[in-house]
Amino acid sequence: MAIISSNIDDNDFSLRKKELRLVDSKVISEEKRNNLNLVRPVSLKEFIGQEKLKSSLRIAIDASTIRKESLEHTLLYGQPGLGKTTLAFLIAKEMNTKCRVATAPAIERPRDIVGLLLGMKEGEVLFIDEIHRLNRLTEELLYSAMEDFRLDLTMGANRGARCRTINIPRFTLIGATTKLASISAPLRDRFGLFHKVEFYTNDELKQIIINFSRLININLDDDASYNLAKISRGTPRIALRFLRRVRDYAQVVKKTNVISKNLVNKALNSYQIDEKGLDSLDRQYLSLLRLNNNNPTGLDSIAAGLGDDSSMIEFVVEPYLIQIGFLIRTPRGRLLTDLGKKYIDSKNDNF
């Protein structure tokens, strides 16, 4: 993250692309360090958007409360930054219970998941993020834990091995994944509720931005919040990150907490984000394709040209360019659309 020095001016404010992309929907280290991601809505009502998901969750929560049962295991899937973790906390809150949090890559050994499950109390929620990344042994232990609230453990080795069964409290597992297809069928089948978390509309993002701006004490006008919403790729995490960077700019460069549309544009300019929400890596990508004229270009050549790895290009850069109609993927390679060409031709100097 760029360090903000006291004698900063508009031009110093840019970020180097390799350090951080403001438009990346994954959590970045600055957010983890400062717990910025933890500024979350405190009730389902405050959770903006996802109306269908919220109303079916509401019914499931009320039904299990009436029956005095724990909620069925729930799988939330959708892109990073859309609110899966937030929903898990809200579900626990609505169920009047605690939410324990783990991420699948951190559950390495069988004893990690056993420890987690033995520590659960009746009715509590266990949230496992990136659940598609669980290893096989952990997954197998989860099967009986989810189905029968029982742990089947093997103690000792070889001939001396014995099986032991331990009953565990009835808990609710909430799994979150960005890759539904990577979850094995036996694990998937043990979830009772499935919810897709969708991208947000501009109006919903605008509301999220307005609510958050109140929390961090800045005064944002209507046009300014809509402008931010428009370029946030349907993703609250990106919207809130933009908002924090705009606040930095406003407070450090302009010495104000009042943010207009004009100030938003200036701030984003200083971060090299343009009116479409594209950053310098997006534009370099488009320029490279433009140089190839109308020839389809393979992903590996693009990655080599940009000096980035191909999966980052494929999963992080391209989806949004496709979504806004600048790019198409063909069997022979990537191609710019007329819209994409027009856009990149209008950017004369790489911003």
Residue 111 appears among annotated catalytic residues = no
Token couple for 163: 């099986």
Residue closest to 253 by CA, chosen among 41, 9, 60, 73: 9
Judged by CB under 6 A, the residue of 82, 125, 142, 231 near ligand ADP is: 82
Query: Which position among 86, 172, 178, 235 bears the catalytic label?
Result: 178
> Length of the chain in residues, anyone?
351
Distance CA 95, CA 288 (A): 52
Residue of this chain nearest to ligand ADP (CB atom): 83
Contact 76, 53 (CB under 8 A): no
Nearer to ligand ADP, 74 or 280 (CB): 74
Nearer to ligand ADP, 175 or 340 (CB): 175
240 lies in the binding site for ligand ADP (CB under 6 A) = yes
Judged by CB under 6 A, the residue of 23, 48, 263, 321 near ligand ADP is: 48
Distance CA 155, CA 152 (A): 10
Distance CA 141, CA 114 (A): 8
Distance CA 202, CA 142 (A): 39
Give the burial class of 324: count Cβ atoms within 10 A of its Cβ; 0-12 exposed, 13-18 middle, 19 or more buried: middle
Choices 77-85, 159-167, 321-329, 334-342; region in contact with ligand ADP by CB under 6 A: 77-85
Choices 16-24, 80-88, 133-141, 161-169; region in contact with ligand ADP by CB under 6 A: 80-88
40 lies in the binding site for ligand ADP (CB under 6 A) = yes
Distance CA 233, CA 219 (A): 23
Query: Which position among 21, 84, 233, 245 bears the catalytic label?
Result: 84
Judged by CB under 6 A, the residue of 13, 21, 22, 49 near ligand ADP is: 49
Judged by CB under 6 A, the residue of 123, 175, 234, 236 near ligand ADP is: 236
Nearer to ligand ADP, 104 or 253 (CB): 104
226 lies in the binding site for ligand ADP (CB under 6 A) = no
Query: Which position among 21, 24, 85, 297 bears the catalytic label?
Result: 85
Judged by CB under 6 A, the residue of 13, 21, 73, 81 near ligand ADP is: 81
CB of 47 to ligand ADP, least distance (A): 5
Helix, strand and coil percent figures for the chain, each rounded to 5? 50, 15, 35
Binding mask 178-217 for ligand ADP (x = CB under 6 A): ------------------------------x---------
84 lies in the binding site for ligand ADP (CB under 6 A) = yes
Distance CA 227, CA 218 (A): 16
Residue 138 appears among annotated catalytic residues = no
Q: What is residue 167's three-state secondary structure?
A: strand
237 lies in the binding site for ligand ADP (CB under 6 A) = yes
Residue 341 appears among annotated catalytic residues = no
47 lies in the binding site for ligand ADP (CB under 6 A) = yes
Residue closest to 191 by CA, chosen among 146, 145, 135: 146
Q: What is residue 11's three-state secondary structure?
A: helix
Query: Which position among 190, 206, 233, 237 bears the catalytic label?
Result: 237
Positive or negative: CA dihedral 298, 299, 300, 304: positive
CB of 141 to ligand ADP, least distance (A): 24
Residue 112 appears among annotated catalytic residues = no
Judged by CB under 6 A, the residue of 2, 8, 20, 37 near ligand ADP is: 37
Residue closest to 240 by CA, chosen among 66, 89, 27, 46: 27
CB of 343 to ligand ADP, least distance (A): 28
Q: Which residues contact 131 (CB under 8 A, 6 or more apart)?
A: 75, 104, 175, 176, 177, 183, 187
Query: Which position among 129, 274, 279, 308 bears the catalytic label?
Result: 129
Residues in contact with ligand ADP by CB under 6 A are 37, 39-41, 47-49, 80-86, 176, 208, 236-237, 240
Which amino acids are annotated catalytic? 84-85, 129, 178, 237
